[in-house]
Structure 1
Amino acid sequence: MLKAQTGTSTNGNAALAAKEAVQKVKEVENAKMAFVYSGVQYDQKALLDAIAAGLPGVPLVGNTSFTGVITQEGFVSGDEGFVGVMAMGDEDMTVGVYGMAKEGTARETGKKVAQEALKRAGKTTAPDYFYMTAPPGEEELYLKGITEVIGRVPFFGGSAADNAIAGEWLLYTDEMVTADGVAVAFFYTGKGFANEYTGAYEETDKVGIITKVVDNRTLAEIDGVPALKKYQEWTGASDEDVAGGNLLAYAITAPLGVKDPLGDVVAIRHPMNGNDDGSMAIGNNLAEHTAVILMEGSVDELIQSTGETLDALKAKLGEGPAAFHLVHCGGRRAGIGDRIDEVAKALKEASGGVPFMTEFTFGEYGYEDDSKNTCGGLMLSFTAFGK
């Protein structure tokens, strides 16, 4: 039977914080891996070394999280740092963990990491599902490299984040720490698994065709006009609202969305920066000659959607959950602001006492039904593990 437990700390000393968090998860028998999420304030290597010493032989994987984590204890954050650990154990589960700094292209690195993760698991076949963490920027390309090796396997995870969008994010395993690379955990188990991947925004009737994209993530034109101008027409945003980095905050309640071919997933595309030439920097890749939709959602709705999404996940799993891994966009968390404790309350109530770990990311990964694995922003990627 799968067992999981979480532990947290806000001790300003990385090694002591690790010891405090690990003390709460040592009871997990047959621990096969542990997720670790932390604040950028720490010396991450010191933190990980101390966690590894407390959980000998247990592979670790994770990344820095935006401002905190949420567990059954509530929203956990600290000015001097924070850490959350979730250990998972099951004698019938095998996990292969591996990560490395970027070597060659992102796609080539993803391929190498997947090949080594198979070796770490002692397997030659694809896992039942897998976890991925990468930095913001080339998530889709790392995923392509992994897919070359194992095919389309259900996945979940998120992009490393920092507290100020300053490029201080890191991802790591117990063997390495890097700002630019990828790490995975390949899971082999007969137990249930489900992922609920959603932005939980409402579609508007404002839709346009992407007519020009530059370098995958700069939206230059919609319907043949500057993208920023079209966005202002749709939203009524002022020039100041969309100037430079102001756009990032404004778009939290008015992002863009793109649909998969069957309409099963609306992947949210977060406008990050308004450029002087009328283009918009976007948090994920876009494709020309596809439709983009203006989405909308109030802060009240962003908060309410967390508990509702966890309820939907439990229904999708269809059996008793042993643990939840919850990826919550850092941008949404910024928009929610001081009301983050309402999210913690909603998640605790919906979890029904099942252990869960919530991280805040700058990119979220998941899938819906038989759609392809997808990377998005301003999204929730909630995952359940069956007993």
Structure 2
Amino acid sequence: MLKVKTGASVNTNAAAAGKEAALQVKENAADMKMAFVYSGVQYDQKELLAAIAAELPGVPLIGNTSFTGVITQDGFISGEDGFVGIMAMSDEALKVGVAGMAKEGTARETGKKVAEMALKNAGTDAAPDYFYMTAPPGEEEFYLKGITEVIGRVPFFGGSAADNAIAGEWLLYTDQMVTADGLGVAFFYTDKPFANKYTGAYGETDKMGIITKVAQNRTLQEIDGIPALEKYRQWTGASKEQVTEGNLLAYSITNPLGVKDRMGDLIAIRHPMNGNADDSINVGNNLAVGTAVILMEGSVDGLISSVGKTLEDLKGRMNGEIGGLHLVHCGGRRAGIDNRIDEVTAQVKKAVGDIPFIMEFTFGEYGYEDDGCNTCGGLMLSFTAFGK
């Protein structure tokens, strides 16, 4: 039977915080197969991880820095000098292969190497039942391509490392490494149920156009032959000041863009992040010329209520009792929610009761929908349930 336990600390000392959080999950250490770890950029991550590993010897760790905090059953956990949250998974029948490394060569080449390492660490050459991925913002889709080369299309979940100020201070890690630019994965082998709900939970408007020019995968230059920022302003009615440079990042939290998958089952959100002087838009994920982009709409109330609705959808997908939940919540959405973050905790508890969970806040979210391919997006929720 799967046993999931969470722990947390806001101790100002990284090592002390790691020890405090680890002690809270230690009771199931005998069958503990892995633990997710999410922390604040304020800590020395190597000291933090060493302290956790000392309390949980031999347990593979994986995770990344999270935007401003984490949420567990105990509520929103944050501290000016740092924070850490742990979710440990124990099950004698569970097998997990964890691996990670700093980027070597291209992101795709690194993805392939890490996948091969994870198979070796799991002691098998068989593809996992599902897997978790953490990467820095920027090349997530290419890391994923490398992994897929090795194991094929396997359901996945996860998110991109974040910091507190979009300053490039994010880190991702395992118990064996810490890096700002690289990849970490956990391959899961189990006969227990698994489900993921991946959504932006925004409303679709009737304003859409064809992408006609893109630079370097993530700079949207033209929609319908019109400069992208000009088109975005036409669609939203935004002033020039509201979408100039970094102002666009906050403005677009409730007015992002979306791209549909080939079957229309999923709208992957594309977060407009910077309005450039040439009227192009820096976007948080890859785009392709010749595809349609849609203006989406939402509200802060909707960002909050979507957490409960998404969890209800997730519960409906599970064939069996849920043992634990891993909840990836976009950091941009969290910034839009701001001081109403406790309402998010209330949404989770109302939907799932006493089921143990951890929620991290990321700068990119990963998941899939129905029979579609694994996808990376922004301003999204990727909620995962593990069968008991």
Confirm or deny a common fold (TM above 0.5): yes
Normalising by the smaller structure, the TM-score range is over 0.9
Q: Is the partner of 1:241 in helix, strand or coil?
A: helix
Measure, in 1, the Cα distance between the counterparts of 2:350 and 2:5. 17
Q: 1:164-203 alignment to 2 at 5 Å?
A: 164-203=165-204
Q: Is the partner of 1:340 in helix, strand or coil?
A: helix
- TM-score, normalised via structure 1 length: 1.00
Given the alignment of the two structures, is residue 71 of structure 1 paired with residue 80 of structure 2, yes or no? Answer: no
Measure, in 2, the Cα distance between the counterparts of 1:27 and 1:199. 36
Partner of 1:17: 17
Q: Is the partner of 1:126 in helix, strand or coil?
A: coil
Measure, in 2, the Cα distance between the counterparts of 1:7 and 1:342. 21
Partner of 1:154: 155
- What one-letter code is carried by the residue in structure 1 that aligns with 2:152? G
Measure, in 1, the Cα distance between the counterparts of 2:226 and 2:242. 19
Deviations 1:343-383 (A, max 9, x none): 01111221221000000000000001110000000000000
How far 1:244 sits from its partner (Å)?
0.1
Root mean square deviation of aligned Cα? 0.5
Structure 2: gaps of 5 or more residues: none
- What one-letter code is carried by the residue in structure 1 that aligns with 2:14? A
Partner of 2:319: 318
Deviations 1:173-229 (A, max 9, x none): 000000000000000000000000000000000010000000000000000000000
Partner of 2:141: 140
Q: Is the partner of 1:123 in helix, strand or coil?
A: coil
Q: Is the partner of 2:164 in helix, strand or coil?
A: coil
How far 1:52 sits from its partner (Å)?
0.5
Q: Is the partner of 1:278 in helix, strand or coil?
A: coil
Q: 1:50-61 alignment to 2 at 5 Å?
A: 50-61=51-62
Structure 1: gaps of 5 or more residues: none
Partner of 1:32: 33
Q: Is the partner of 2:355 in helix, strand or coil?
A: coil
Measure, in 2, the Cα distance between the counterparts of 1:307 and 1:11. 30
How far 1:257 sits from its partner (Å)?
0.1
**Equivalent pairs: percent with the same residue?**
75
How far 1:318 sits from its partner (Å)?
2.8
Q: 1:87-98 alignment to 2 at 5 Å?
A: 87-98=88-99
List, as ranges, runs of 4+ consecutive aligned residues in structure 1 with deviation greater than 6 Å. none
Partner of 2:384: 383
Q: Which moves more between the two structures, 243-252 or 350-359? A: 350-359
Deviations 1:208-255 (A, max 9, x none): 000000000000000000000000000000000000000000000000
- TM-score, normalised via structure 2 length: 0.99
Deviations 1:42-83 (A, max 9, x none): 000000000000101100000000000000000000001000
Measure, in 2, the Cα distance between the counterparts of 1:56 and 1:350. 34
Partner of 1:2: 2
Partner of 1:237: 238
How far 1:27 sits from its partner (Å)?
1.4
Partner of 1:62: 63
Q: Is the partner of 2:243 in helix, strand or coil?
A: coil
Deviations 1:153-172 (A, max 9, x none): 00000000000000000000
Given the alignment of the two structures, is residue 109 of structure 1 paired with residue 100 of structure 2, yes or no? Answer: no
